[in-house]
Chains A and B, each alone.
Chain A
């Protein structure tokens, strides 16, 4: 059989063009959704949320920045991390264990539904159930009735009236009110949990912004929010909307910022760290962030248990020249650590007793190491494990070189190819080296930087550290009736941590960013994210 060759050509051409045309037509839908890029809309960088936009399921910054813009809780944080009343009119407690919450009467969701006591109680109760698989369910663990292993109603929550409910905790929690500004504690509309997947795609909130129509979220590309005119509270938006563009590569985002195609950027690509302050002038931002970085030497490693381990950890800590590393490797975009928390947190102190273990001191380091050798002579190589896909090689090499030079031992980095594999080795304790650890605060309180990491059996206690004294002090701090008293206890706990060094503090991250010449009033909050609602677009 022979086909006319013009015919075959025509078929091929038709097939090819069909392929192309279908491509073009489907993409047409992506355009022209919502009310479009109007004047007064601020554009900012972000990343595709890892989960649907359900507040109790969002535990990473990509979704977090969107969720906090869409929802408002009982309290919200100001730029310094101080809580202020938002949906709540008052939160009262005499013993830090029983709370009475009174709500403002005039708050509504963007669909018109009223925000009532049940909007909070039902949402929290739903999120605390194991079978609902919410990533943030552990935030409800202090409320009476919570069970991490099985479904169990939060009996500590009681609706009194439409505008009032009570919270009973398992134990006094002095910083509970402070925690309530975290996005896990926001209210949900009545029907949200009926189909949570659909809700996560088209969330209806009570925050300063709402989604810009049905097609506001173009997955992996951008999400468009507009001002929510029904929002009443301290976070009212001073611009008409917020478009968050998801960048795969920071370089592109930075290029967009410099050509004023992007209004706010909250990270600077590594290659431009040294020059961005010059590039952007007074539109550059470099301020401390609530991010603490360290490495952990678990007790189970040979030579690192008991008194010998204590000496060796202190020696290693003294052997690290933090000033030099933050200057040379990070171009001053990290600041040397003076404790286990972060300078942006209320109660932070540079001079907690025992913090001199973080000072660079070659002589002391050698001395301590020699004392440890007297107990049991050192053998082997000291290694710090890290994930190779996160840009950690530079500082790990620098730190291990310092340790090597000061202590005269073999030391090196131990890269694990990808982050998921690294975390797996850490969590199931198969990693046979020290490893990098870090913590970003969920809410601006000292307790949040200490308890989840160093309390016995805590969820992120990767080194399996346990010291009854620390546990007791943390508990006493929680039971205090004022934040000031609580913070004193937490600092005492830190003094013990400086002796035990369950993690070797390295530095705090700073947030590096900038904004375009089309916006003003750009302030970054305690959580290193721009306070979007305050930005004014020229």
Chain B
């Protein structure tokens, strides 16, 4: 088990090197001159251009820029943004916000997704099953920005239950609305996954045996049916957490959440190499850790799975 974890972590090293190299190259190859763009419609003097290119090491060949970045990582220096801020402090201020947002969305989608999915699976073909299925279909078919705008309009202008955008320091309360938006798409997926999985498990022999032994529904459903149905759902939720950590660009933009997605989007637009690569590096790291956690959770959910190597 410990060996297994060790090897998985060892695998992470080449993955990280590969992704950073790739991303750095892509940022490098992006069209346009980020320094010129800093001046808007005005044109800087050649001496100014030269001085700024030098400051951000933009006149060095690609491989030198990349090695400089890699070297910096080991001394905790990820470079600076064009506004002169260390990238590391940008990471420190944005990741917690996105993490809180993701957590809210995660709790919502897990509770509602698994709850409704279980209900729907147990009452297969019934009225509640049909209603839940139709509801999830509706959620899947709506693009996330439509949901965001509609909820923002209904819940802030019409009823002022929430603030339209996130306030100072992105407190938990303000993140609930974007959290709901972020959760909607995944809720539908989780409902459907849980439902299918529950129906499949209900047909298994061990469920019949459990009932045959005289166990109550209150015992059979959570312990025998639900737990055995959760493996695909957990996999989905795990990857979804990864996606939410990196990809809430649209939602964060609409609600002005000072998180990872919004910041990364701006950095990409400005061709801010060090910021983009640092963010992606942390994201890859998060993905790897989350995937490892999911694999470990399998063993908890299903005792037949063991990691011996």
Contacts and interface: CB of A to CB of B under 8 A. Distances in A.
Contacts, number: 210
A263 to B, nearest CB: 14
Given A2-B306, A27-B100, A138-B45, A219 B93 contact: yes
Contacts of A19: 99, 289
Contacts of B169: 27, 30-31, 218, 221
Interface string B245-262: 000000011111010001
Contact of B258 (A149, A201, A221): A221
Most buried by A among B40, B156, B253: B40
Contacts of B97: 27
A5 B303 contact: yes
A60 interface: yes
A255 to B, nearest CB: 4
Interface stretch (A70-78, A328-336, A356-364, A437-445): A437-445
B233 to A, nearest CB: 15
A23 B100 contact: yes
A374 interface: no
A135 B95 CA distance: 32
Contacts of B265: 248
Interface string B95-128: 1110110010000000000000000000000000
Interface of B: 1-3, 30-34, 36-45, 47-48, 51-52, 55, 82-85, 89-90, 92-97, 99-100, 103, 149, 152, 156-157, 160, 163-165, 167-171, 252-256, 258, 262-263, 265-266, 269-271, 289, 293, 296-297, 299-300, 303, 306, 308
Interface string A219-254: 111100000000000000000000001111101110
A15 B294 CA distance: 12
Given A256-B164, A417-B31, A220 B296 contact: no
A9 B163 contact: no
A21 to B, nearest CB: 10
A421 B83 CA distance: 20
A440 B93 CA distance: 33
Nearest to A134: B48
Given A22-B96, A201-B85, A452-B42, 4 more contacts: A1-B3, A59-B42, A255-B157, A418-B32
Interface stretch (A43-51, A467-475, A476-484, A529-537): A43-51
Given A1-B1, A8-B296, A459-B43, A261 B163 contact: yes
B170 A27 contact: yes
Contacts of A3: 1, 299
In the complex, the 6 A-B pairs of residues with the closest C-beta atoms, listed nearest first = A420-B32, A421-B32, A255-B164, A420-B37, A23-B99, A27-B96
A200 B170 contact: no
A221 B168 contact: yes
A135 B96 contact: no
A12 B300 contact: yes
A197 to B, nearest CB: 6
Contacts of B55: 133
A30 B299 contact: no
Contacts of A148: 45, 47
Contacts of A37: 168
